[in-house]
Amino acid sequence: MKKIKIIISTIVVSALLISCAPQGEKKETEKETQKEVKTEVPALNILSQAEKDDGWVMLFDGITTKGWRGYGNENFPEKGWKVEDGTLHVMGSGKGEAGGGGDIITEKMYGNFELSLEWKVSEGGNSGIFYLVQEKPGQPIWKSAPEMQILDNAKHPDAKLGVEGNRAAGSLYDLIPGDFNVVNPAGEWNIVRVMVYKGTVVHWVNDKNVLEY
């Protein structure tokens, strides 16, 4: 079973949240967010010898987008994504969704695997981790791939929609709820894992098994 590791900084700005704040508050929030991103970034991705021996494969080197491409595209998006301070950022569009870069996927395909990554989201942010992706012409990624939700549970409305929290961070989006209480708030890192093995899938958030199917 392949073990794969990545660190992502997910920055998706909620236009609704920003539009509700006075201009002075918006500027101050932007300054605080920029400062936070600069001071809390994890170290560049490096696999230890023990991790290599255990079968881990690094998906993101903290410097380039090597090994990644756009969904439905042979190349990596020219906009909407950037590598900065050892993290991979998806840029907000100001409309509550990801920027113009669209979704990205690994160049290699994996069957049985354990995916380990760290993410954090801006206030009101919304994103996701798709796995077992099947590219189908003319169809968006969410039609063929399950999604582990990335969300600011406190300030994005999706957290309270769906059924019993199945749209909150860590959930199998719109299907199976995770554990609302183990997710760190916007601006803080969350360590998550997704294991796919012989038809069983498990989601972990901050070292807690939050769902299995």
Domain that holds residue 203: 2-122+182-212
Q: What pLDDT score does 17 carry?
A: 20
Give a yes or no: residue 38 inside a domain.
Answer: yes
pLDDT of residue 164: 94
**Residue 187 contacts residue 153 (beta carbons within 8 Å):** no
- What pTM, to 2 d.p., does this model score? 0.79
* 141 inside domain: no
Q: Are 117 and 5 in contact (CB under 8 A)?
A: yes
Cα–Cα distance between 110 and 1 in angstroms, integer? 9
CATH code of residue 21: 2.60.120.560
SS3 174: coil
Q: How far apart are CA 138 and CA 58, in angstroms?
A: 30
Can you give the pLDDT of all 213 residues of the chain as single tens digits? Answer: 666 655 444 433 222 121 222 333 333 434 444 444 443 445 567 788 888 888 888 888 888 999 999 999 999 999 989 888 888 888 876 655 555 778 999 999 988 899 999 899 989 999 999 999 999 988 999 999 999 999 999 999 999 999 999 999 999 999 999 998 999 999 999 999 999 999 999 999 999 999 999
Tell me which long-range contacts 138-147 makes (C-beta under 8 A, separation of at least 24). 140/103, 141/71, 141/103, 141/105, 142/173, 146/172, 146/173, 146/175, 146/201, 147/172, 147/173
Classify residue 174: in a domain, yes or no: no
Number of other residues whose CB lies within 10 A of the CB of residue 91? 16
Tell me if 154 is assigned to some domain. Answer: no
In a domain, 157, yes or no: no
Which pLDDT score, from 0 to 100, does residue 33 have? 42
Asked, for residue 58, whether it belongs to a domain, the answer is yes
Number of domains in the chain: 1
pLDDT value, residue 44: 61
Is residue 82 within a helix (H) or strand (E), and if so which, with residue range? strand 81-84
Is 60 exposed, middle or buried, given 0-12, 13-18 or 19+ CB atoms closer than 10 A?
A: buried
First CA to last CA distance, the chain: 18
Asked, for residue 78, whether it belongs to a domain, the answer is: yes
Contacts of residue 182, Cβ cutoff 8 Å, sequence gap at least 6: 170, 205, 206, 208, 210
Q: What letter would DSSP give residue 176? A: B
Inside any domain, residue 49: yes
